Amino acid sequence: LHHIVPVTAARRVLESGEYRSILLSGGSDSHGRLPLMEHLAFIEWVHEQGIRINAHVGLQSDEDVRALSPYFDKVSLDYVWDDGTIHDVYHLQRSGADYLHTARGWVDAFWAAGGSEALRSAKQRVNLHLTIGLKGGVVVGEYAAIDSLIAFQPASLVFLVLIPTEGTVYGNVSVVPIDAVESVFAYARLKLRATDFVLGCMHPRVAGYSEQLEHLAGQYQFRGVVGVKSSAEDAEQVEECCVFYK
């Protein structure tokens, strides 16, 4: 988190007028909730400036979702379905059903606040993030997570790939094999045909790996790729969070 500008200093930075959007992020508490309500005054101020907000929201209560939804243009939610991964990686006593409930809650809040806004438009503001290999670089629960979304049919799904990070319990694990990543992509495309796929900013930057991911993203009709210079002639460069791809 040391790369992130703290809320206490962010207003001064944003007053320069140089930014059209921000990512509001941080650490979560023992319930998986980011302390967003504690910074509601700042969030309201950013919204009043016309600066778009993408917020990493975590598992907010239904009440807080309704209170925050008028100020967020997009929300990003890590989506985990496997209870063992939730317990072992995030150390939370929560379940996959809690993540699906939260996703539905944000869609309902945006839909209600929008009045005439179509359900599809409300869903486009909720961007689920699925990390392949989250549990130590091994694919555990990713297929079940995709299955759990079939009825929900998200408008977009951002794929991440675990980065073995020095100083963490998974610092020495192997990079997720590219064929395992492709298998998840293929399964997701089969089950979620109408969903926009995006390759997000978290994926290993090792020799050749990013290029293989870009190739797979093209093969499975991804709408966007972060951190890889696209070779496509008609590719559009977007200097914002990946969820603002449209």
User: Where is 123: in which H helix or E strand?
Assistant: helix 119-123
Query: Which of 144, 118, 145 is CA-nearest to residue 129?
Result: 145
Question: 């993203």: which residue's tokens?
Answer: 217
- Where is average pLDDT lowest: 128-142, 157-171, 184-198, 220-234? 220-234
**How confident is the model over 5-29, as pLDDT tens digits?**
888 899 999 999 899 999 999 989 9
Asked whether the predicted pLDDT for residue 235 surpasses 60, the reply is: no
pLDDT attached to residue 105? 97
Q: How many helices (H) and strands (E) does the chain have?
A: 9, 7
pLDDT, tens only, 57-112: 999 999 999 999 999 999 999 999 999 999 999 999 999 999 999 999 999 999 98
Q: Which residue has the higher pLDDT, 117 or 106?
A: 106
Q: Model confidence at 240, in pLDDT bands (50, 70, 90)?
A: low
